[in-house]
A and B are shown apart, each in its own frame.
Chain A
């Protein structure tokens, strides 16, 4: 069974500093990988996704993530953090349903809460 680990429960950075959120996954086949962001009391918003191809993927809000198969990692990065980036971030691995159906089960990590200091 697949699993996702986000080692950092809480990260604090200063505004303007660079950011890296870690994500490690366990899955036997080629994974489908996602990063979502959630503001307090809100739903999840998709930041970016990796299905295949270029291992460095660009997302919204200036985020990027790099897929490293050898390390089973999909870390999220941003070169300069803004105060509005304060939120909780979730990494997820997806597995397609039987017969390649549209259903795809997502397994989520426990989340990393990002605090941004002015």
Chain B
């Protein structure tokens, strides 16, 4: 089945540690995105990538980093510089010339 997978579903981290969230898609989509969701705030764009080896900052990129070495993969690293990292993180992708984004199941990150 085609789709977007995110792992792990739940992630716990101690303050001061970096953590990497995985996102993989087998939809052959060009563009991939990372969003952060907090209660009552909708979704906010962290980073996006249109093609391999290229990515741009979204609205709330501070404290996050990404890479796009393969078309299928777009991992997100939450660094220790992110002051309030506890949130639900969603990955999405969209195809060539299409606006429609399809979402993965999400990863809930909790900082202890």
Contacts and interface: CB of A to CB of B under 8 A. Distances in A.
Contacts of A109: 42
Interface residues of A, number: 28
A104 B43 contact: no
B48 A103 contact: yes
A34 B100 contact: yes
Contacts of A45: 103
A56 B88 CA distance: 33
Contact of B99 (A36, A43, A104): A104
Contacts of B88: 41
A42 B4 CA distance: 13
A33 to B, nearest CB: 10
B105 interface: yes
Given A43-B90, A97-B50, A108-B42, A102 B31 contact: yes
Contact of B42 (A46, A90, A103, A104): A90
A108 B43 contact: yes
A104 B40 contact: no
Nearest to B39: A111
Interface of A: 4, 9, 32, 34, 36, 41-46, 49, 51, 90, 94, 96-97, 100-106, 108-111
30 contacts: A4-B42, A9-B40, A36-B103, A41-B88, A42-B106, A43-B4, A43-B6, A43-B105, A44-B43, A44-B90, A45-B103, A46-B100, A46-B102, A94-B99, A100-B97, A102-B30, A102-B50, A102-B97, A103-B50, A103-B94, A104-B94, A104-B98, A104-B99, A104-B101, A105-B45, A105-B58, A106-B45, A106-B99, A110-B40, A111-B42
